[in-house]
Structure 1
């Protein structure tokens, strides 16, 4: 005897409708199986909610077996589509592969990083890449460039999901594929409880695997099992994440995005060299957007180089500072950034993006473990750079432990490494030092 009882709240609408229609006309599951040629087990699993995504031909056969009219058949198909991605979504995805958002500016100074990521993802050498770096370094813009090049090269579908738009709340008339992608990303990052959407996404994209871009991960509890399942069930899928730190997932490739390079202290600087270094080139490009008539003098050139050094080559900071040239000249801007390190952040707080940068740096410092915050405060008190022996002396830790500590600071984007004369040296970014010095109360004890 077949057991047909199931909790209604655990059964999708499709399973409830099949059971209601079957019982209305007095059929057993065996009889419906005979009429429809669908197995008894499949019908039982659908009615009890163990199977939630019936195939298109299964829906048609069951509707035929139940002798449904046009209205009831349409309702049954609608209910089936609630449990899985509709055939129309899959067909639209394959016919017109989704593209990434359109960039509104030209990416400057990131050709090497872009080429490396495009090659790794296009070849499948890496399938899960997390771009990490300090706030304002340009992680989102780099991801957008990589996604655009992959899409342009061979129409690779790009599923772009900003984490700021999670959780995914269905909206009337909204894009069903977008809603599905956001729900899946929520499940990957530990904010969603159901796994059914992952299977629905695989069903939609498996025949033409996309690049899934998860942009802006900050506080998250990623689920390694769900990432592994998605990558396993959809061979060819690649995932590109931008985050403030590595997700620590199996198979993850952490890609550290460092600030733009600029003239080093002591380097000869003139108007020609400013146009060649990525940091100063970006600064001048943004400056000329607000001052098309800007003409640098020989005196201005070293001041611009020093401004870019004090802003650590961070694109967001460079753009914010350049926006002040609508009212300042170069010497005045340099003067504003040359005094107390806190002035850097106070100055930028008045420009677009500056407040977000300040808040992001404060959050990054507050996220450090207590012992690392104490170490970082001691390192900030030093005027010059530091090496691993300095960390060992300050903490009493072994060389391997000191190396792991500094590695974490580098991957958090708080310090910048350099390798000169066979020596590894590290320097705290000026803006990070400013955040540490001007807002110590923001870092919990």
Structure 2
């Protein structure tokens, strides 16, 4: 008996066949679910076209539940394969697990952070982890280190998607295009459907990858689609780098603070993370550069002035092609505008000033006003000072400071069992420049 699958509905042929075979033999969706062990929801979604790419085991179970003969079963399987992601893509993905991009430099001073994220992702404690922090702090580099170690140690497939890049990454193949399309659906920047997410699941479900979304901005992430993806693809782990938390259920927010800097008045340890990074970058500008006892104190002060932010350290060190250490130190301490001007005009620092300005402009009005007041105040601060400035309660003040911390604008300290906070020098410079521009 032939089955007429013509319909005006936008339903794939597989869904139409399932519905018509079911109604022909007089089964309800619940009865077919009982016979096939496929959920009622899955059958309903297939018949209505909301799910368009059934897995092979789902096709087999439904065919068994419908008691189809050989010819009808073959027709159903053929319909299931229509529009599927190429089996060649899936086979290539499984045979040669994709690797993350190649790192062009060595990561310094992030062993603790790398270890914590690796433990959480590999141990199953977290499946959706977002690295946040101020621009230039090294979010992408940390994610790359984590992804590289996972791929090296476990042959974990790594699907790296730079969110700020339009379309598949240069040189990308069909797998890269599929990943990009699925990510667009997660970020709600696609056409509104979920077909690409379903195709993604179909391709990777048998060997779940680490999916890296690098450079998420704004808050346009679809929490419901992320949740469905994690449910439909057990074992999938998602690592995100973002300007701020996604604020979706199940998210683990990892605050990446700047590198540790030498304490004022203390001897400068050449192995201090910020100092090591500055010296390594200085040698790129001047291969004969070495840290002398005479310059050590000035270098330590430069690192403090730049808050241990890696991108700022890179930019400052590039000036050594024309400056000596005392001159660089003097230039970075003249005034806030001079500090930002030097970073903006240096190698690797071109976007830092603009990124800081955008981050301050994107703050809610209350947070921006609080930050401005704290910048004028000048010293480090605690919650009592914030309560005095705002007249707010302790919980309200705590939430306000927490937002500034998670935006990467304020650095927390927990010395001597007390919570204290300090606005980054770079942030204060950007804020004071913004205030001066309005006058």
Unaligned runs of 5+ in 2: 26-31, 33-44
Is 1:86 matched with 2:86? yes
Q: Secondary structure at the residue paired with 2:379?
A: coil
Is 1:182 matched with 2:151? no
Q: Secondary structure at the residue paired with 1:401?
A: helix
Given the superposition, is the C-alpha separation of residues 138 and 81 from structure 1 closer, same or farther in structure 2, using an over 3 Å criterion? Answer: farther
Report the Cα distance in structure 1 between the residues aligned to 2:86 and 2:300, rounded to whole angstroms.
Answer: 56
1:324 maps to which of 311, 314, 319: 319
Report the Cα distance in structure 1 between the residues aligned to 2:228 and 2:341, rounded to whole angstroms.
Answer: 46
Given the superposition, is the C-alpha separation of residues 46 and 257 from structure 1 closer, same or farther in structure 2, using an over 3 Å criterion? Answer: closer
1:132-172 deviation per Cα after TM superposition (whole angstroms, max 9, x unaligned) = 00000000000000000000001011010000124559x9x
Report the Cα distance in structure 2 between the residues aligned to 1:426 and 1:150, rounded to whole angstroms.
Answer: 34
Which residue does 1:96 correspond to in 2? 96
Q: How many residues align?
A: 408
Which residue does 1:239 correspond to in 2? 238
With the length of structure 1 as denominator, give the TM-score of the two structures. Answer: 0.83
Is 1:358 matched with 2:353? yes
Which residue does 1:346 correspond to in 2? 341
Report the Cα distance in structure 1 between the residues aligned to 2:436 and 2:406, rounded to whole angstroms.
Answer: 24
Which residue does 2:434 correspond to in 1? 439
After alignment, is 420-429 or 303-312 more displaced? 420-429
Q: Secondary structure at the residue paired with 1:204?
A: helix
Asked if structure 1 preserves the Cα contact closer than 8 Å seen for 2:51 and 2:195, the reply is no
Report the Cα distance in structure 2 between the residues aligned to 1:168 and 1:429, rounded to whole angstroms.
Answer: 36
Q: Secondary structure at the residue paired with 1:241?
A: strand
Which residue does 2:36 correspond to in 1? none
Alignment of structure 1 residues 254-265 onto 2, 5 Å: 254-265=253-264
Q: CA RMSD in A?
A: 3.3
Asked if structure 2 preserves the Cα contact closer than 8 Å seen for 1:161 and 1:181, the reply is yes
Alignment of structure 1 residues 304-315 onto 2, 5 Å: 304-315=299-310
1:303-335 deviation per Cα after TM superposition (whole angstroms, max 9, x unaligned) = 111111000000000001101111111111111
Asked if structure 1 preserves the Cα contact closer than 8 Å seen for 2:55 and 2:202, the reply is no
Which residue does 1:138 correspond to in 2? 138
Report the Cα distance in structure 1 between the residues aligned to 2:48 and 2:151, rounded to whole angstroms.
Answer: 42
How far is the alpha carbon of 1:219 from its aligned partner? 2.1
Report the Cα distance in structure 1 between the residues aligned to 2:374 and 2:172, rounded to whole angstroms.
Answer: 50
Which residue does 2:41 correspond to in 1? none
Given the superposition, is the C-alpha separation of residues 111 and 47 from structure 1 closer, same or farther in structure 2, using an over 3 Å criterion? Answer: closer
Asked if structure 2 preserves the Cα contact closer than 8 Å seen for 1:366 and 1:442, the reply is no
Alignment of structure 1 residues 5-16 onto 2, 5 Å: 5-7=6-8, 10=10
Asked if structure 2 preserves the Cα contact closer than 8 Å seen for 1:279 and 1:315, the reply is yes
Report the Cα distance in structure 2 between the residues aligned to 1:47 and 1:364, rounded to whole angstroms.
Answer: 47
2:425 maps to which of 417, 426, 430: 430
Asked if structure 1 preserves the Cα contact closer than 8 Å seen for 2:285 and 2:320, the reply is yes
Report the Cα distance in structure 2 between the residues aligned to 1:214 and 1:280, rounded to whole angstroms.
Answer: 30
Asked if structure 1 preserves the Cα contact closer than 8 Å seen for 2:163 and 2:215, the reply is yes
Report the Cα distance in structure 1 between the residues aligned to 2:52 and 2:437, rounded to whole angstroms.
Answer: 49
1:253-283 deviation per Cα after TM superposition (whole angstroms, max 9, x unaligned) = 10000000010111123xxx1x210001100
Given the superposition, is the C-alpha separation of residues 82 and 259 from structure 1 closer, same or farther in structure 2, using an over 3 Å criterion? Answer: farther
Q: Secondary structure at the residue paired with 1:249?
A: coil
1:18-67 deviation per Cα after TM superposition (whole angstroms, max 9, x unaligned) = 99xxxxxxxxx87xx99xxxx9xxxxx99985663367898xx99x969x
How far is the alpha carbon of 1:118 from its aligned partner? 0.7
How far is the alpha carbon of 1:226 from its aligned partner? 0.4
Which residue does 1:208 correspond to in 2? 207
Report the Cα distance in structure 2 between the residues aligned to 1:180 and 1:156, rounded to whole angstroms.
Answer: 18
Asked if structure 2 preserves the Cα contact closer than 8 Å seen for 1:143 and 1:242, the reply is yes
Given the superposition, is the C-alpha separation of residues 215 and 114 from structure 1 closer, same or farther in structure 2, using an over 3 Å criterion? Answer: same
Q: Secondary structure at the residue paired with 2:307?
A: coil
Report the Cα distance in structure 1 between the residues aligned to 2:5 and 2:355, rounded to whole angstroms.
Answer: 55
How far is the alpha carbon of 1:342 from its aligned partner? 1.8
How far is the alpha carbon of 1:5 from its aligned partner? 4.9
Q: Secondary structure at the residue paired with 2:351?
A: helix
Which residue does 1:400 correspond to in 2? 395
Is 1:412 matched with 2:407? yes
Report the Cα distance in structure 2 between the residues aligned to 1:408 and 1:435, rounded to whole angstroms.
Answer: 18
With the length of structure 2 as denominator, give the TM-score of the two structures. Answer: 0.84
Asked if structure 1 preserves the Cα contact closer than 8 Å seen for 2:140 and 2:214, the reply is yes
Which residue does 2:105 correspond to in 1? 105
Report runs of 4+ in structure 1 exceeding 4 Å deviation: 1-5, 45-51, 54-58, 79-82
Unaligned runs of 5+ in 1: 20-28, 40-44, 67-72
Given the superposition, is the C-alpha separation of residues 251 and 51 from structure 1 closer, same or farther in structure 2, using an over 3 Å criterion? Answer: closer
Asked if structure 1 preserves the Cα contact closer than 8 Å seen for 2:286 and 2:320, the reply is yes
Asked if structure 1 preserves the Cα contact closer than 8 Å seen for 2:375 and 2:423, the reply is yes
How far is the alpha carbon of 1:423 from its aligned partner? 1.8
Alignment of structure 1 residues 152-163 onto 2, 5 Å: 152-163=152-163
